[in-house]
Amino acid sequence: MDREFINSYNDYVNNGNAWFNLNPLSKLWICMCIGLSAVVVRHWQFGFSLCIFYCIAALIIGIFPRFIKNYITISVLVILLTIVIRQFSMRDPNFTPFINILGWQWYKEPFIAALNIISYIMGFSGALLIYFQTTEMRDLMLALENRGVTHVASYIMLSSMQSVIDMRQSAQTILESQKSRGIETDGNIIVRMKAFFPTLGPILLSAMSGTEEKAIAMDARAFSHNGGHTYLRVLRPIPVWEYICDGLALVFLICSIVWKVLSMTGRV
Amino acid sequence: MAFIELKDVSYKYPYTKDFALQNVTCSFEKGKFYGIIGENGGGKTTLCNLIRGLIPHFYLGKLTGECLVEGKDIRDWDTAELSSKIGYVFQNPFTQISGIKPTVFEEVAIGLENLGVPKDVMLERVAKVCEQLDIGHLIKNNPNELSGGQRQRVAFASIIAMDTDTLVIDEPTSQLDPEGTENVFNIINQLKHSNKTIILVEHKIDLIAEFCDEILVMENGTIAFSGPTKEVLTKRELMDHNAAIPEVAKFGHAMADAGKPLSEIPVTLEKAFSLVQERSAR
């Protein structure tokens, strides 16, 4: 048996580096403050600067490949949708012609408006993406439990996420058994849909009965026991510098609010 | 005094016509190892659910008669309190995994976390149980990705780790190979020697015959036979009740029918061997 692995539970949770080891709630606070600043400022230069900042941060904390993959996917969707919608929805004869793509005239003002929207969506989603790519949900739940959230609520949250995975596996099993009975499950989208929709009923029913059995199994593990609860994994106590980081993040958000107010009143 | 006592208990699951248990009267004493056998649908799992308090707390249905645990009616027990007294290993290993723990080690520790066991005790106990159940090599694995047999051992380990006084175990070896089955029975036997009350539902009659102190044979929701293992398993009538009896007991009856009886009907292989030797010597 791996004694080193067992002994690792004697230490505080160690997820690798300083950013990963931040208390999940502190980390959430920092990410939300930075992300919200993009929503407050709503300026493309600020938003895109944040995007670059996220990329550098992802590189430093060691999640760049998966971060950039997801971030680009989100960006492409958001950029295309927003620019197209803005070009169609904003109409004014005084708009400045910008570029012409195969006879489709683009104007500068809707383009800038789209960039502003894109920048705050990307500025906010980048922060969230970094958060969820560097935080295990069980650590977040553990941090919430430490702040008084019941372990029942925590279990419901974590279990719901696992249910999605279980349901996906059930769907796959049902589809494979359909296939083995000679029912066509591969091919064009119509064929796939025809094969998939009838499986929804059994998937939901099995998920429901599984939930009941799981509730009983958890009861056997003293889930509703009223005495004190202990934890195998323990998050490290929050150090002072982490509180300082939280404070700085708040100051950053406040500064962005002040800048926005001043810019709206024409003082900057 | 009996630790668990059932007096004329009948039970019907919600929305069903037939009773799953009918006029069941029996008792379970502390420190004894009970085996429950019988055909499928005979009421074995229902009896376990009742003893553990899932009936009537989870499964509503219609319950009549008295089921007393430590002299207190099961209806008056708080299920949370009962969970720290009676451990229950279920039949289906696939729904016994919590689904929220990423390693087998943490999965086995769930019950102890819920009971508020100190961390150092928890680590020691979980490591010991994992070693006992031969899942030491799996402790870092994701429990959601294990095979049926491995899950069954993990589920069993989690309940054993809780160290309850009584264990209700419903077919713990249904997904295990012969070696795994033997291993589980040896652990159950060790638990018996640490003065735990064990109620085991199992179809592997030869192992039941070897380890159990007493047996209940269930049929159509009633107790067809009950009593000390040897006494029950040597009854000829058992064969008329679709209940499995050990091959060596069948052999003993066949010898008697052939006019060459052994001095008694054996229920274990070891005993059969000595009786045959004794007969040959005569």
Domain identity same for B261 and B156: no
Residue B176 lies in a domain: yes
Domain identity same for B250 and B165: no
Domain identity same for B195 and B280: no
Query: pLDDT at position A163, please?
Result: 84
Q: Residues B183-209: pLDDT tens digits?
A: 888 888 888 888 899 999 998 998 899
Both tokens of B132, joined, read 């006992």
Domain identity same for B179 and B90: yes
Domain identity same for B152 and B259: no
pTM to 2 decimals? Answer: 0.83
Q: Indicate if ipTM > 0.90.
A: no
Residue B241 lies in a domain: no
The residue assigned the tokens 């094969």 is A195
**CB < 8 Å to B119, chain A:** 9-10, 230-232, 234
The count of domains in chain B is 2
Query: pLDDT at position B88, please?
Result: 93
Quick check: A1 and B130 CB within 8 A? Answer: yes
Q: Residues B88-140: pLDDT tens digits?
A: 998 888 878 888 899 999 999 999 999 999 999 999 999 999 998 889 999 99
Q: Does pLDDT of A117 surpass 80? A: yes
Domain identity same for B139 and B274: no
Domain identity same for B220 and B270: no
Q: Does pLDDT of A172 surpass 90? A: no
**Chain B interface disruption, residue of A4, A225, A231, A233, most B CBs within 10 A:** A225
- Residue B203's domain spans which residues? 4-230
Domain identity same for B164 and B201: yes
Residue B92 lies in a domain: yes
**Chain A interface disruption, residue of B100, B115, B124, B152, most A CBs within 10 A:** B100
- Per DSSP (E only), the strands in chain B are 4-12, 21-28, 33-38, 62-69, 72-73, 86-89, 166-170, 197-201, 214-219, 222-228
Domain identity same for B216 and B262: no
Quick check: A220 and B52 CB within 8 A? Answer: yes
Tell me the CATH number at B92.
3.40.50.300
For chain A, say whether B52 makes contact (Cβ under 8 Å).
yes
Domain identity same for B130 and B268: no
Q: In terms of Cα–Cα distance, which of A228, A235, A245 is closest to A139?
A: A235
Q: For residue A119, what are the contacts with CB-CB under 8 A and spacing of at least 6?
A: A38, A42, A43, A44, A45, A46, A47, A48, A50, A51
B1: confidence class by pLDDT, cuts 50, 70, 90:
low
| Of A240-254, B25-39, B233-247, minimum mean pLDDT range | B233-247
Query: B16: how many CB neighbours lie within 10 A of its CB?
Result: 10
Q: For residue A228, what are the contacts with CB-CB under 8 A and spacing of at least 6?
A: B116
Query: pLDDT at position B109, please?
Result: 96
Domain identity same for B279 and B217: no
Query: pLDDT at position A143, please?
Result: 95
Q: Does pLDDT of A119 surpass 70? A: yes
Distance from CA of B210 to the nearest CA of A (A): 28
